Amino acid sequence: MEAQRTATKRWEVLAGVAGVATLGAVAAGGAARNITRRCSGAEDPYRDEDFDAIYDDAASIVTADDGVPLTVREVGPADAPITVVFTHGFCLRMSSWHFQRVELEHRWGDRARLVFFDQRGHGRSGAADAASSTIAQLGADLDAVIRAVVPTGPVVVIGHSMGAMGVMALATRRPELFGTKIIGVGLISSAARGIADDGIGRGLHNPVVDAFRMSVRQMPGAVQAGRGVTRSLIAPVLTAGSFDHRFRYRSVIGFAEKMIHQTPVATIVNFLRALESHNEMASLAALTRVPTMVACGYQDRITPLANSVEIHGGLADCELVGVPDAGHMLPLECPDVIDDAIDRLVGRAALLVPDA
């Protein structure tokens, strides 16, 4: 009987994976057609861009409080008046800040240091188990990076999507840092709560994705080996929602797809649960102590504009940057707009630093 129950459970898991893959294949076809349509015939100024050049910058490893190694890169002098720390989004990596890395170093020179890191479970950082795949842990990891890499001097923090949620988590749990160590915050394409209730988040909260989660928990090796499941189900949903349908640069879209595809299956599944339960509205009390910037694309289907408007409404000294004809990947999709917004934010924060 025990052997029969084991066999039955195994079959149920495999059936769940097969069902997920079938549904995902349909989604993949639609997404592929959409991407092809918007890229067709477009001149691409970024076709020769080295989007992973950031990994050639000065390197270090920061060990998170629970022992997970976090890969860090930085550019600029250690004694710069201000350090700007960038934290990336779900299924991405630090190189998603490629355009900001290039442009802001050019603008600021020795007046600022730029620090980037891969979130746990993403890029070249260590893996994260289910228990530590939480927004609160991302806030703790950001805290660890700041303590290790910026032991002295003021910090401006810029977060995109899930990375911005980690910034909010840090503000909830360590509010004393804001207005003292952290003197400015940028929140791009994010939400303080309710990601499962609006936009594409609702599509990730359904029985099919729940079956996918069960499969990963019960047979992680089999699912990880069959990475087509990720490509056919989750990746098309995220990629299709990342850019406005008029965005035409194939190299940038391909780069985003590559980051999503390379994210481990376990990371995707574990953080999906964290995103669904995310609620950091309490962070706004601490964030209102410092200059802030909130940016969102009008066509963002992952964290729709209403989420950014809600955050902005709870803050005091906050610039709201709305970007028409843009989706969720603002740092890649509209780099000039985001570069300018970050530049303005750091300029406002610098007024709080005597020697900046």
Quote the CA–CA distance of 327 and 316 in Å, as a whole number: 26
Give the predicted TM-score (pTM) of the model.
0.84
pLDDT level of residue 43 (50, 70, 90 thresholds): confident
Q: Identify the DSSP state of 97.
A: G
Lowest mean pLDDT, pick from 92-101, 151-160, 178-187, 264-273: 264-273
**CB half-sphere exposure, 119, CA atoms < 13 A:** 35
The H or E element containing residue 37 is: helix 2-39
Across 177-205, average pLDDT:
82
pLDDT of 89 reads 96
Tokens, residue 218? 């019960």
Check: CB of residue 197 under 8 Å from CB of residue 223.
no
Quote the CA–CA distance of 313 and 266 in Å, as a whole number: 35
pLDDT of 128 reads 92
pLDDT of 269 reads 81
Q: Is 175 exposed, middle or buried (0-12, 13-18, 19+ CB in 10 A)?
A: middle
Check: CB of residue 71 under 8 Å from CB of residue 119.
no
- In CATH terms, the fold of domain 49-194+252-350 is Rossmann fold (3.40.50)
Helix (H, G, I), strand (E, B) or coil at 224: helix
pLDDT of 198 reads 64
Quote the CA–CA distance of 81 and 210 in Å, as a whole number: 47
pLDDT of 179 reads 96
CA dihedral (135, 303, 160, 155) in degrees, to 10, reads -70
The H or E element containing residue 343 is: helix 335-350
pLDDT of 322 reads 96
| Closest-CA residue to 132 (of 251, 288, 271) | 271
Question: Which string of DSSP letters, residue by residue, matches 151-192?
Answer: SSS-EEEEEETHHHHHHHHHHHH-GGGBTTTEEEEEEES--S
Quote the CA–CA distance of 245 and 329 in Å, as a whole number: 12
Quote the CA–CA distance of 145 and 68 in Å, as a whole number: 12
Quote the CA–CA distance of 67 and 336 in Å, as a whole number: 37
% pLDDT > 90, the chain: 65
Q: Identify the DSSP state of 289.
A: T
Check: CB of residue 297 under 8 Å from CB of residue 327.
yes
Lowest mean pLDDT, pick from 148-152, 157-161, 165-169, 241-245: 241-245
The H or E element containing residue 30 is: helix 2-39
Quote the CA–CA distance of 156 and 161 in Å, as a whole number: 17
Residue that wins the pLDDT comparison between 96 and 198:
96
Residue ranges covered by each domain of the chain: 49-194+252-350
